[in-house]
Structure 1
Amino acid sequence: MPENTASLRLIDKVNYIQERLRLITNIHINQLLLLEQKFTEDFEDLQQQLQQLEEMIRPVEPDQQ
């Protein structure tokens, strides 16, 4: 019986560690998804700003010189 008890305790510890690793992994995945979303929004904003700048610069280029 003591072997069974030790085995059960070991299984409980392994299950606990697995659950903690699952939680930590989910937290990191969520953080990465949030970062990806933020970078995507920033990139789209920068693309829009670049397009606006290009449109402002165009009229001044060949015709106005």
Structure 2
Amino acid sequence: MIEVGKAKKIINVVAKSLNREMKYEKVYILDSLNRVLSEDIYSLDNLPPFDKSAMDGYAIRSMDTQNKKI
């Protein structure tokens, strides 16, 4: 395993090279599988309009719920 700082440097180098090489094109949404957005998109609606854990991305690992002695 590598250190966090070294991993961040690797990610930054790769991300910068992708940004320089990237060109964008408009494609039909059904043809966009396995592609990357070239800009952020935002919804005009906040859905659901209330806190709901099934939609908010909460997750746990099963091993975190077990009583283990370390």
TM norm. shorter chain > 0.5: no
More relative contact order, 1 or 2 (CA 8 Å, 6+ apart): 2
- Bigger Rg, structure 1 or 2: 1
Structure with higher helix content: 1
